[in-house]
Amino acid sequence: MDNRAIGVLDTGVGGLTAVRSLRALLPGEDIVFFADTARVPYGGRDTDEIRALSMDCARRLAERAEIKFLLVACGTITSACLAETGGAAGVEAAGVIAPAAEAAARASVTGRIGVLSTEATARTGAFPRALEAARPGVEVVSRGNSALVPLIEAGRISAGDAELERAVDEAAAPFISAGVDALILGCTHFPLLTERFRERLPGVELINSGAAGAGECARRLAEEGLLNPRSAGGSTRCLVTGDTEGFCRLADIFLGGAFTAEKA
C-alpha cells in the first residue's frame, strides 16, 4: 500500500483521456497531471528533442509532487523515451503503446489493424512492433498525422468545423480503404475525436490509447503493491507549463467538471 500520488504526463490536454480512465478505475488515488502546454505539440519534433523535453517535464513533476509511479499518457513520449522519462522522475513508468496494441490485438477479428499516431511516433515503428509482439502475423496500417493535435489544442473538436472535418476525413481515409476492423487512436489527443472517427469508420473498433495506458498503470500498481488503501476521495491536480486559464477552459470543454490548474 502506498498513499503517494500517481504522476501522469502528456504534452497537452490529450493526457486527460488517461486521467479520466484512471479516475474511474482507481477513485481513491491522488493524481498529479503534468501537461507541457507551452511546448505542445511534440509530434513534429525529432527524437532527441522529445527526449530532452520529456525528461525535463518528468523531473519538474517529481520536484513538485511526491509520486510513486509515472503514467506516460502520450504515444509520442512512450515511443521515444519511456524508460528514460520514468528514470528522470525517479520512479517506474508505464506507457500507452503496449497496452493499446494488446487491446487492438484482442479486439480485431480479421487481424488487419490501423494505427493513427503523431508523425514522431509513426517514425519509430513502435506500434507495429508492439502489435507484432501481441499478435504475430498481424497486418498493420500505420499513419502519422500532424494536423489534428493543433486543432484539438485550440478546442476545435465540434462537428461542423470545416477545417476539423477535412482533417478527420484525411486522417480516416487510409483506414477506410485498407478495411481495418480495429483502429488504435495512438495519440492520446485523438480519443477526444472519437465521435468524429466513429462517423467515418462505423463498425471499426476504436482503441483509446489513454484508457489502455490507465488500465496498464492500475494493473502495475496492484501487482507491485502500490495501490492507495483508500477506495474513494482521490484528488486530481493539474500542473501546466503554459496558460492555466486556457487549459482549464479546454479541459472543461472536453471532459466537463471544474478543473483547476497551477503553473508548473
Please report, as ranges, the residues that interact with ligand DGL according to CB under 6 A. 10-12, 14, 40-43, 74-76, 118, 121, 149, 187-189
Active-site residue among 57, 74, 217, 238?
A: 74
Q: How far is CA 96 from CA 71, 75, 157, 203, 259, in A?
A: 8, 6, 22, 23, 24
Rg for the chain, CA atoms, rounded: 17
Separation between Cα atoms, residue 48 and residue 63, nearest integer Å: 23
Q: Nearer Cβ to ligand DGL, position 76 or 142?
A: 76
For residue 33, how far is the Cα from the chain centroid? 12
Measured at CB, which residue is nearest to ligand DGL? 43
Distance (Å, rounded) from C-alpha 246 to C-alpha 107? Answer: 36
Closer residue to ligand DGL in complex, CB, 11/244: 11
What order do you get walking across the sheet with 93-94 strand by strand? 93-94, 67-72, 5-10, 31-35, 236-240, 261-263
* Minimum distance, C-beta of residue 54 to ligand DGL, in the bound complex (Å): 10
Nearer to ligand DGL, 142 or 228 (CB): 142
Q: How far is the CB of 74 from ligand DGL (least distance, A)?
A: 4
Give the number of other CB atoms < 10 A from CB of residue 106.
12
Can 74 be counted among the known catalytic residues? yes
**CB 229 → ligand DGL: shortest distance, Å?**
31
Residue 187 annotated in active site? yes
**Rounded alpha-carbon distances, angstroms, from residue 73 to 19, 125, 160, 170, 175:** 8, 18, 29, 25, 24
Least CB distance from residue 29 to ligand DGL, whole Å? 21
Distance in Å, CB of 137 to ligand DGL, minimum: 27
Report d(CA 164, CA 143) in Å as an integer: 18
Q: Which is nearer to ligand DGL, 10 or 216 (CB)?
A: 10
Q: Which is nearer to ligand DGL, 230 or 255 (CB)?
A: 255
Per annotation, catalytic residue among 57, 81, 187, 217 = 187
- Say which residues have a Cβ less than 8 Å from residue 179's Cβ, sequence separation at least 6: 110, 112
Active-site residues: which are they?
Answer: 74, 187
